[in-house]
Structure 1
Amino acid sequence: MIESIQQFDADLFLKIHRGWSSDFLDFFFPLVRNRYFWAPLYLFIIVFFIREYKKTGYYLLGIFLLTFGLGDLTASRLIKPFVARLRPCNEPTLALDIIHRVPCGSGYSFPSAHATNHFALAVFIICVFYPKWKPILPIGLAWAVCISLAQIYVGVHYPVDVMTGTILGCTIGLLTSKLFKTLKPEF
């Protein structure tokens, strides 16, 4: 059973990693998965929270940072070392199939911390702001999906790594949004 899942995962990985190859995606996906690319967005979020919501903005910011911290801690420090799954770009059986679009890194693959963190942040923001601004739902989901797909396309994660990170991130985002609403029910 596990071997069947691993084979399906490797096959789907190759369909995305090699099958979607294009000059545009070779430019776009490495860019969107780069943490520095999103620095202006994070700065905007910090300023927006504090400027628009004053004292409550500090609560928003604190829970936003907690959301990121929980996602990163859970994926990178707790699960990855325990599972110890090689990244596809470090997998010897895939060595001839990998297109090196970004440096592979030496860390483990399961789950994707990028997917965990970005889905956690997106779900937190969606849950908090959806009643006030409906477009946050498709924007937040598109942002997290794009970054997560990029992880597969560039060759650093399998689809199951990303799907698991998505589920983990959504769970964390839901929990931290409930925490925020408990602390600030009048928001």
Structure 2
Amino acid sequence: MSQIFLVIGCAAFCILLADGMSDFIVKPLVARERPCNDPIFKSCITLANNFRATGYSFFSSHAANTFSIAVFFIMLIRSRLLSIILISWSLLNCYTRLYLGVHYPSDIFVGLIWGGFVGFLASKLYSWAYKKIAPNITYVSKQYTISGYDKKDIDVVILVIVIILLYAIFRSVIIYI
């Protein structure tokens, strides 16, 4: 149970630090207008469902949050397939921010850099805390990843992510038909 709480705590740390820095410190200081509200770009952007975001643009909290979680779990679980899926999930999320006209590419880029740093920091925090609460175990079976996670459990997580993605694609196709 302590390991579960540690993973949840580090994931929460990722969101709090990535989102907190963006929303409460950087965005108010930079005060950059969103592309969908910028008079120069406003007419060039086609709004989806007349959605026009409010607030400031720099830097993307969505990019920072999703990439911090992706990097944290990539470093925690160390599964190549899950890594590819998490990076793809994060980049797809970033693309939606550009598509909706709520962020400039530089907002996304800085969000990814900050999120990667936060995810790395959370993984180091996890490693430090895990050494304090758990014995040193070496996993040498092909059933487990290097970090000790059962590959069957990772397959379930991947299946859930793929089902959610397929559902989102299905819903978006139905809405626009």
Tell me whether the two structures share a fold, i.e. TM-score over 0.5. Answer: yes
Partner Cα separation in structure 1 for residue 81 and residue 40 of structure 2: 43
Task: Please name the residue that 1:161 is paired with.
Answer: 107
**Count of residues in Structure 1 that have an aligned counterpart in Structure 2:** 132
> Quick check: 1:101–1:155 contact (8 Å CA) kept in 2?
no
Query: Which ranges of 4 or more aligned residues in structure 1 deviate by more than 4 Å?
Result: none
Deviations 1:36-82 (A, max 9, x none): xxxxxxxxxxxxxxxxxx32011100111111110100111110000
Instruction: Return the offset for 1:135.
Output: 1.5
How high is the TM-score relative to the length of structure 1?
0.68
Matches within 5 A, 1:104-123: 104-123=52-71
Task: Please name the residue that 1:78 is paired with.
Answer: 25
- Give SS of 1:121's match: helix
Is there any run of 5+ residues in structure 1 with no aligned partner, and where? 1-53
Is there any run of 5+ residues in structure 2 with no aligned partner, and where? 137-146, 148-177
Q: Percent of counterpart pairs with the same letter?
A: 33
Instruction: Return the offset for 1:118.
Output: 0.5
Task: Please name the residue that 2:77 is paired with.
Answer: 129
Q: Which has the higher helix share?
A: 1
Aligned-residue RMSD, C-alpha:
1.2
> Quick check: 1:121–1:173 contact (8 Å CA) kept in 2?
yes
1:172 paired to 2:111: no
Instruction: Return the offset for 1:94.
Output: 1.3
Task: Please name the residue that 1:58 is paired with.
Answer: 5
How high is the TM-score relative to the length of structure 2?
0.72
